[in-house]
Structure 1
Amino acid sequence: MSQKLAIKPQNRYPHICHVVASINEEVGGPAYSVTHLTQALSEKQIFPHLFTLNYQKVGEQVTTNGVQLHSYNATVIARYLRGFQPSAYQHLEQLASTEIDLIHNHGLWMFPNIYARKAALVNRLPLVISPRGMLESWSLRNSWYKKWLALILYERKNLNSATAFHATSEEEVRSIRRLGYKQPIALIPNGITIPSLYNLPDRQVLNQAFPELEDKKILLFLSRLHPKKGIDNLLYVWQSLINQFPQWHLIIAGPDLIGYRAKLQSLTSQLGLTKQVTFTGMLSGELKVAALSQSDLFVLPTHSENFGIAIAESLAYGVPAITTKGAPWKDLVEYRCGWWIDDHQNALKEALIEAIQLSDRERQEMGFRGRIMVEQKYSWGVIAEEMSKVYHWILGEGDRPSSVDFY
């Protein structure tokens, strides 16, 4: 407990500073989960701050309401050197010394994550770290030499400094423990904003933007375009199914931050799928809602996810989902709202055949069960309530929540 907490005024809400490398739209994942978490916390007797860099070339920053935003335009050096921006750290350290009771860092490997640890240690503040899937086996193997070097140079010190960890899945808890960390871990999944199903955009919105979808049933992939998402496997499987299911069309939607779309489009052409696959780029606003609500089936054949927010979003719109066991979604099986499969092409093909051969009514019933499940388990109000309990417990203001696991 910091000295500031000992003298803080009565009835003052805890000031929690969330540190994340970026909340620009095209970054995806944490840009949405962290901003939505902080907004929901503002309604749970928490005063949230959000510290981040603004990478203006990857979209607008996700809107934050009810949150004190501390955003600094990323310099040229920061853009090319993993967020290295000492002037931003100075702002964070000053903020931590005057207003903050606890720092919650989201993600690894970036300089803002180092700044979170330094500001916490200098000011003797508790530090919570959310790895956000970056300690998963697949992620560590990807560019492993860079990550093990980073672990030696600075990241291990960051992780050792954590008062507690926040994991979004049981697999992430196991990943943290496998690396030898013994601090408490709060197992709290990401949340989603539950959409209203009234006044949704109609199918014509999609058809006007993408005329090739006219009279087609839609299989939707919506996520960041990245090798870990298994999109190449999806394309190979789709090539084997198009003659059997010519009335279906595959949409691949999502931002491309690493130039991967060109490789995928080349593969699509090689497989003769240019008329059966549409790359939309990043979808937002009405067009994203139309894609989610008007699709017949969602697929995310990922190799590794700490949560998989797009799966929850599809279920919230009543669309059943297929994903691999690289994502923590056994709920799909337990609540009978989708398929949770092994991470290989044969399993994906079998699941797609089974899902496509269901009647429209059977798929809609699966989607309805998924909608009820995410309302009960993954609404931001539920998630923020549990997270606020963790903060109060760390600050000595409450009992240990049931979500917290000890080594």
Structure 2
Amino acid sequence: MLKIVHIVPTYYPYQSGGSAYSLYRLNCGLKNINKVVISEGIKKKKKNDHITHDLNHKVFFHNRFSFFFINRIVKESKKADAIQLSSFFFPPNIFAFIVAKVFRKKIIISPRGEFFEYALSRKKKQKEFFIKIFNLINISSVFHATSEEEIELIREKITSKKKSIIKIFNSFDTEFNETETRLNQFLFLGRINPIKNIHSVFNVLKNTNDITFLIAGEANLPYEKEYLIFLKSEIKRLHLQQKVIFTGKIHNEEKYKLIARSRFLILPSHSENFGNVVLESLSQGTPVIASKGSPWSILENTKCGFHIDFNKEVEIKNSINSLMNLSENDLIQVKKSCRKILENFSTHTINKQWEKLYYSKLL
């Protein structure tokens, strides 16, 4: 049986964001492939404790750079048919690179937007050094991208001759189908991180009436906490205390109820390689205003939202006004269009593409 070893910063059920949960859904669907996941995460009472999701799907959590983490990477990777990484710059990857070079293992790498300019600007020298080392080692690798722009960025940064690039979307299915009454509110859902550019809507919001902006997420890293402080200071400076509400992080059914109650969702990020939250919103028939830094031009083509420049207040204002003024009949049509888009991202469809990659001559 084919064996894939995943080395990841986070994985379900601990500390998992959109990309980690997307990988979890993929692994749950591939029943006939042996998956071993090695993740930084909760410290276990016993060093060999692990979570078994099914017979061929096990997850080991270790402290980063602990002996057990490194030993697990080397031990499992040597026996694998391929090593799959859900981050390019995750420091423990260096051990996967060494194993791949010495034992001639193929590597699949999902940078998850890490090569976008804004993402590279943080710890820039460290990341440039990591890229140089990878290009020098010249490992046989397959890079996984979720947009055409990300493909071009990978080509630009990774000069190794032994690479190929394939585009596969993230998968999405939801068991929730909420029928909440739409309120005069719109929603941001995700990490409170500077790259998300949440404050870009504040000036427009200042000149609107009877509308509430909900920010659903949390700040964990030091620079995220600094950004949260900045957001709160801007809200106070612009006198938006009655218009902007922080809900904290929300989960599962409550998250989808909040989406279903909102007029629309915004994704104002400086850059996004995908944006799982867009699919979460569309699943509830809720349109989306996404930034030009995301790959969601399809929103306008299908009349499910807008794809705008969040540096231009007039574009933000016009798109907000358009979605706030949708009639009930308009919302019914939007919901139908949203469901149509989701067919392209079903787990069944995406898993077939991954199976094709795993069994292809690329690996």
1:164 and 2:154 equivalent? Answer: no
Give runs of aligned pairs for residues 231-246 of structure 1, distance below 5 A.
231-241=198-208, 243=209, 246=210
Give runs of aligned pairs for residues 6-405 of structure 1, distance below 5 A.
13-23=1-11, 25-42=14-31, 45-55=32-42, 65-66=53-54, 68-74=57-63, 83-98=64-79, 100-152=80-132, 154-157=133-136, 160-181=138-159, 183-197=163-177, 200=178, 202=180, 216-241=183-208, 243=209, 246=210, 248-258=211-221, 259=225, 260-346=227-313, 347-374=315-342, 376-394=343-361
CA RMSD of aligned residues (A): 2.3
Q: 1:370 to 1:131 in 2, by over 3 A?
A: same
Q: 1:234 to 1:40 in 2, by over 3 A?
A: farther
Query: What is the CA-CA distance between 1:228 and the residue it aligns to?
Result: 0.8
1:81-122 CA distance string (max 9 Å, x none): xx3334312112112233x21111111222232232223233
Output the amino acid matched with 1:92.
I
Question: Unmatched 5+ residue regions in structure 1?
Answer: 1-12, 57-62, 75-82, 204-214, 397-407
Who is 2:47 aligned against?
A: none
Q: Distance in 2 between matches of 1:336 and 1:188?
A: 23
TM-score (ref. length: structure 2): 0.88
Query: What is the CA-CA distance between 1:382 and the residue it aligns to?
Result: 0.9
Q: Distance in 1 between matches of 2:246 and 2:176?
A: 27
Query: What is the CA-CA distance between 1:26 and the residue it aligns to?
Result: 4.4
Query: What is the CA-CA distance between 1:155 and the residue it aligns to?
Result: 4.7
Query: What is the CA-CA distance between 1:162 and the residue it aligns to?
Result: 4.2
Q: Distance in 1 between matches of 2:143 and 2:120?
A: 18
SS in 2 for 1:370: helix
Question: Unmatched 5+ residue regions in structure 2?
Answer: 44-50
Query: What is the CA-CA distance between 1:65 and the residue it aligns to?
Result: 3.4
Q: Distance in 2 between matches of 1:275 and 1:361?
A: 30
Query: What is the CA-CA distance between 1:234 and the residue it aligns to?
Result: 1.9
SS in 2 for 1:65: strand
Query: What is the CA-CA distance between 1:168 and the residue it aligns to?
Result: 0.9
Q: Would the aligned equivalents of 1:27 and 1:255 in 2 still touch at CA under 8 Å?
A: no
Query: What is the CA-CA distance between 1:354 and the residue it aligns to?
Result: 1.7
Q: Distance in 1 between matches of 2:158 and 2:74?
A: 29
SS in 1 for 2:266: strand
TM-score (ref. length: structure 1): 0.79
SS in 2 for 1:111: coil
Percent identity reads 29
Q: Would the aligned equivalents of 1:300 and 1:324 in 2 still touch at CA under 8 Å?
A: yes
Q: Distance in 2 between matches of 1:394 and 1:85?
A: 35
Q: Distance in 2 between matches of 1:279 and 1:326?
A: 24
Q: Would the aligned equivalents of 2:304 and 2:338 in 1 still touch at CA under 8 Å?
A: yes
Q: Distance in 2 between matches of 1:38 and 1:318?
A: 27
Output the amino acid matched with 2:311.
H
Query: What is the CA-CA distance between 1:379 and the residue it aligns to?
Result: 1.1
SS in 1 for 2:207: helix
Query: What is the CA-CA distance between 1:47 and the residue it aligns to?
Result: 2.2
SS in 2 for 1:358: coil
Q: 1:26 to 1:293 in 2, by over 3 A?
A: farther
Q: Distance in 1 between matches of 2:173 and 2:254?
A: 17
Q: Would the aligned equivalents of 1:168 and 1:307 in 2 still touch at CA under 8 Å?
A: yes
Output the amino acid matched with 2:356.
K
Query: What is the CA-CA distance between 1:180 and the residue it aligns to?
Result: 4.7
Q: Would the aligned equivalents of 2:289 and 2:308 in 1 still touch at CA under 8 Å?
A: yes
